[in-house]
Structure 1
Amino acid sequence: MAEVVSFKRDGEGPAAGLVLSSRAGGVLRLTLNNPPANVLSIAMMEALHAALSQAGDDPSVRVVVIAATGQLFSAGHDLKEITAHRADADRGRAFFEKTMRLCADLMLKITHLPKPVIAEIDGLATAAGCQLVASCDLAICTDTATFCTPGVNIGLFCSTPMVAVSRAAHRKQAMEMLLTGETIDASTAKDFGLVNRIVPKQYLTQVVDKYASVIASKSPLTLKIGKEAFYRQLEMPLEAAYDYTAQVMVENMLAKDAAEGIGAFLDKRHPEWTGE
C-alpha cells in the first residue's frame, strides 16, 4: 500500500499527498498525485526533490520509478501560480528565478541520483513535464501517451525543457518540437529518442516493474559507477571520454562486486552483491 511523502515549505504546514511512495523490493515508485494536470508547482517540485533525496540516501532502494495519477503525466509548470506573481513588486522576477532554479535542481537530482530512474508515462507530458521524462534514465509509455514542448505557442520558449529534450532526442527532432510546439504521439516520441518502449495501457506498470526488477538485481555499486560515467563522458571530447572511462573501468575492476561477479560467472552461479 502506498504511503504519502510529505514535506514542509518554509513557514508553512505540511502539504501531504503530492507525491505517493510505494516499495516492491528494491524498486521505489514515486507517483505525482495532483490531478488532473500534475503541474510542477513549487510544492510539487519540492516534494519530488525531497522524495528523490531520501531514495538516494536509502541503500535498500536500487531503482526509482516516477509515475503519475490521472490522465496527464504532467502539464509542466503551474501557469496560474506563475501568473499570480506578476503582481509582485518585481513583476515576479524573484518567483520566476526560484521556479527555474528549483526545476533545474530537480532535473539535476535525477541525473546525479546514484540509482537508475525510470519514467512511466500514461497521458500527456508537456513542457517541464516533458523535461521530466527526458531527464529520466529510461522512459516507458503507453501507446496513447503524447509529448510536447509548447511554450512557443504562448510566447515562452521552452528553454529549460530544451536542455533535457535536446540531450534525449535527436537534435533536429528536438528543434522541431521546440519550434512548432506541436504534440507528438508515442510512436513519434520513440522515433525521436524520448522513450525506450511503448506498451498497451493495461500492461504499462507490469512492463515497467519488469525492467525495474531486472535492473535492481544488478550490483548497486556497478549501477552507481555506470550511471555517473555515462553522463560525464557524454560531455567530453572522444579522446578524453576514453581516458576517463578507462580509469573508471580500472576502479570498477578493483571493486569487490566486480570480483564477485566475474567469479560467479566463471563458477556458473548467481553473484551475491555487497555494494562494495
Structure 2
Amino acid sequence: MTTTQLVLRDLAPEGVLRLTLNDNSRRNALSESMLTELQGHFDEIGADPKVRVVILAANGPAFCAGHDLKEMTKGRAADDRGRAYFTKIMGMCANVMQSIVNCPKPVIAEVAGIATAAGCQLVASCDLAIAGETAKFSTPGVHIGLFCSTPMVALSRNVSNKHAMEMLLMGEMVSAERAAEMGLVNRCVPPEALSETATAWAKTIASKSSMTLATGKKAFYTQREMPLGEAYAYASEVMVNNMLARDAEEGIGAFIEKREPKWGDE
C-alpha cells in the first residue's frame, strides 16, 4: 500500500500498532483521501500477524471533525446535485467503520481533542476508547440541517437510547467526563496520562492469545444482534470450539499448574 502522511503508522515490538490521523489543516476530517488511507490500513491489519492491538490516535487539537463538508459541497456542482458523490462518500465511511468492528485485532481510540459527527462515529466504532479530560464529543448535524444519521448507528450501539437521542437532537458538546458516564468512552484521564494509559491497556491486551481475542471480538458483535436464545446457542458453539483450540488447552493447563501460558495463537 502506498503510504501518505494523512495516517502515520508506528508498530511497537509488543505488537501494538499506533495509527495517527495527521491532517491538522482539515482537523483530521474524514476526507475521501483520509477514508481511502484508513481503509487500506485496516484491510492489511487483519492479516498481519505482527499486529496484535491497534491504537487509533490523532495529532492536533481535533481527534476528527467528521466529514470534510467543503469537499462534499463541491460535489453539488454535478448534474445530480451531488447524489452520486454523497452516496460514494457515505459508503466509504460505512466501510471503514465496519472494517474497524470486523477487524480481528482490538482497536482502542485514544482521544485527546474534539470528536464531532463522523469523528464521534469513529470513536464509537472502536472496541475501547480512552479520552483526555479536555476531549469533547458531539453529533452536531442538527445545527446545519443535517441529522447525524450514520454516526447514529455507532453511537446508538454504545450508549443508551436516551443518551444517544440527547446528543443527536441537541447537538451540543459533551465533556470527556460525561462521555465516560454515558459509556461512549471507557475512561477519562488527565491529558498527560492519555497516551501512557492507552499504551498500557494495549500492551495488556497484546499479551493475550490473538486467537482468543479474535474469537471473542467476532462473537461479541455477532451475538449482540441476535435474540437471546439464538445468542446463547451461537455463543455456546463458539465456546465449544474455543475449548478445543490449542491456546485454550495451554491457558487452562497453565492456570492449573500455576505458570505463565505460552501462546501459539492457534
Q: Tell me, in whole angstroms, the C-alpha distance in 1 between the residues paired with 2:182 and 2:193.
A: 23
1:52–1:110 CA contact under 8 A, matched in 2 = yes
Aligned match for 2:63, one of 65, 69, 73: 73
Note if 1:39 corresponds to 2:3.
no
Runs of 4+ in 1 over 3 A off after TM superposition: none
Unaligned runs of 5+ in 2: none
Q: Tell me, in whole angstroms, the C-alpha distance in 1 between the residues paired with 2:242 and 2:163.
A: 36
Q: Tell me, in whole angstroms, the C-alpha distance in 1 between the residues paired with 2:31 and 2:182.
A: 28
Figure out how many residues of one structure are paired with residues of the other and give that number.
Answer: 264
Aligned match for 1:220, one of 204, 207, 210: 210
Bigger relative contact order, structure 1 or 2, given CA contacts below 8 A and separation 6+? 2
Secondary structure of the corresponding residue to residue 29 of structure 1: strand
Provide Cα deviations, 1:215-247, integer angstroms capped at 9, x if missing partner: 000000000000000001110111111111011
Provide Cα deviations, 1:163-204, integer angstroms capped at 9, x if missing partner: 000001111000000011111101111111100011111111
Note if 1:116 corresponds to 2:106.
yes
Q: Tell me, in whole angstroms, the C-alpha distance in 2 between the residues paired with 1:131 and 1:236.
A: 23
Aligned match for 1:208, one of 198, 206, 217: 198
Q: Pairwise mapping of residues 76-155 of structure 1 onto structure 2 (< 5 A)?
A: 76-155=66-145
Aligned match for 1:29, one of 18, 43, 59: 18
Q: Tell me, in whole angstroms, the C-alpha distance in 1 between the residues paired with 2:195 and 2:45.
A: 20
Report deviation, 1:53.
1.5
Q: Tell me, in whole angstroms, the C-alpha distance in 2 between the residues paired with 1:159 and 1:96.
A: 13
Q: Tell me, in whole angstroms, the C-alpha distance in 2 between the residues paired with 1:159 and 1:189.
A: 19
Residue type of the partner of 2:10? S
2:169 equivalent in structure 1: 179
Residue type of the partner of 2:186? N
Indicate the RMSD between aligned Cα atoms, in angstroms.
0.9
Q: Tell me, in whole angstroms, the C-alpha distance in 2 between the residues paired with 1:45 and 1:272.
A: 38
Report deviation, 1:6.
3.7
1:6–1:19 CA contact under 8 A, matched in 2 = no
Unaligned runs of 5+ in 1: 8-15
1:120–1:205 CA contact under 8 A, matched in 2 = yes
Residue type of the partner of 1:19? V
Residue type of the partner of 1:126? T
Identity %: 58
Report deviation, 1:83.
0.6
Note if 1:159 corresponds to 2:146.
no
